[in-house]
Amino acid sequence: MQFEVEHMSCGHCVRTITNALQRLDPAAKVEVDLAAKRVVVEGEMSADAAIAAMAAEDYPARLLGAG
């Protein structure tokens, strides 16, 4: 799944988002591209759960097209 995530600008943002998603699935692979404001997640979670986890940390996200 690929998400566009607002308000990301630093390493703290990357850690916060990664930790939020890995609480849903500790084995999830999370890749964050700060410049593109994109997060790619491979794991056992729904897109809705991932969006809710990021939103709970004040990082609004939206699911991008499959791919």
* pLDDT at residue 62 in the model: 97
Domain count, the chain: 1
State the residue for tokens 């056992």. 44
Per-residue pLDDT of the chain (67 residues; tens, 9 = 90+): 999 998 899 999 999 999 999 999 999 999 999 999 999 999 999 999 999 999 999 999 999 985 4
* pLDDT at residue 67 in the model: 47
* pLDDT at residue 60 in the model: 96
pTM: 0.91
Q: Which domain holds residue 13?
A: 2-63
CATH classification of the domain holding 21: 3.30.70.100
Q: What is the Cα–Cα distance from 44 to 24, expressed in whole angstroms?
A: 8
